[in-house]
Amino acid sequence: MKRLAALTGGTGFLGRHVIRELADQGWAVRILARTQPELPELSDVEIELTLGDLSDPDALKALAQGADAFIHIAGVVKAKNRNDFMRANKDGAERAARAWAQTTVGGRFLLISSMAARAPELSHYAASKHAGELAVADALEGRDWRILRPGAIYGRFDQESLKVLQLSNAPVQLMLNAPAARVAMVDARDAARAIVATAQDQDIGAIHEISDAQLAGYRWDELAGIAAKALGKHARPVRLPAAVLKGIGGIGGAITGITGGVEMLTPGKVREILHQDWSVQSPLPEILYQPLIPLEQGLREMAEASGLLSR
């Protein structure tokens, strides 16, 4: 009999890669969604659907029922204000964890968080991810749970990382941080492998970070050079002064406040970008996870899939 994995966020960018990896590893998959999703890239995978969302305790309990692992991926990276971030990233994680605790006896709960949770003072997003981690730890005290904090995830199906790659296709490549700042990167396929491996490993309260093989992360000029090379170009990096970036972030925050819309580049996001150290501090044990996809290869394959680069 197949092991059963229950997922929130299964229709999103990372979730689709996790479903593929689960299926390849012989798991049955159940996901939470408001409506029947269209996932043509997973047409060969049998996916059980639980209708509902994170605000519905009964739907979450139905999702958790009989599952060997509960993988909570759902969350937001853009929101209008702190309360909206907290509702999605803190309250959603807490409801999922409590539904799991009330429904199951064995199995394990895995929260997909963010490295931003290490520095909750930087932004509303970072604070909400940190609060979500604390809520899960409180709800599942004594149970089998763990947290994964991926670095910057990129890959097929992600429009945000595609926008960054498109910028690298320009005549010059903008560098958005100080010369010594570093950011860890991970292809979504490697992130999915780490998630599924962790879902099969017993532990209580472990928090680990995942990236590609370069645990120290990349300087922005390195990222510019690797991205340009993946696109078959010569890098021409130009550093964007922090003051300019902060000004753009201030404009984004003002637009959000005035229009009620959701802007990506807000003052909080700028503080995250300017943070000096997003390297891996607590990696997964090598027995569980060894990344397979170098950054240049991953970016090149992403460019090919999106039509930026001809095969």
Rounded to the nearest integer, the mean pLDDT of the chain is 86
Tokens of 95: 């409801």
Is the model more confident about 306 or about 226?
226
pLDDT value, residue 250: 44
pLDDT value, residue 167: 66
Tokens of 266: 């807000």
Q: Which residues on neighbouring strands pair with residue 71, listed in sequence order?
A: 7, 110
Q: What is the pLDDT of residues 70-110, one digit of tens each?
A: 999 999 988 889 999 999 999 999 999 999 999 988 889 99
Q: Which residues on neighbouring strands pair with residue 174, listed in sequence order?
A: 238
242-262 per-residue burial string, b: 16 or more CB within 10 A, e: under 16: eeebeebbeebbeebeeeeeb
79: helix, coil or strand? coil
Distance CA 93, CA 12 (A): 16
Q: Which residues on neighbouring strands pair with residue 150, listed in sequence order?
A: 210
The pTM is what?
0.89
Taking residues 265-270, report their average pLDDT. 69
Residue 56, pLDDT above cutoff 70: yes
Q: Mind giving me the DSSP string for 231-299?
A: TT----EEEPPHHHHHHHHHHHHHHHHHH----SS-HHHHHHHH-SEES-SSBPPTTT------HHHHH
Could you please state the CATH topology (level 3) that the domain comprising 4-157+185-211+280-292 is classified under.
Rossmann fold (3.40.50)
Q: How, if at all, do strands 69-72 and 4-8 pair?
A: parallel
Distance CA 207, CA 203 (A): 10
How far are the Cα atoms of 15, 91, 92, 129 from residue 57, in angstroms, in the given order? 21, 12, 10, 20
20 CB contacts (<8 Å, ≥6 apart)? Answer: 41, 42, 45, 192
pLDDT value, residue 65: 96
pLDDT value, residue 177: 60
pLDDT value, residue 240: 57
Taking residues 297-310, report their average pLDDT. 81
Work out the percent of the chain whose per-residue pLDDT is above 90: 60
Residue 255, pLDDT above cutoff 70: no
DSSP state of 218: B
Residue 179, pLDDT above cutoff 60: yes
Q: Where are the domains of the chain?
A: 4-157+185-211+280-292
Instruction: Locate all alpha helices (DSSP H) within 140-231, ordered by sequence.
Output: 159-168, 188-199, 220-230
DSSP state of 83: H
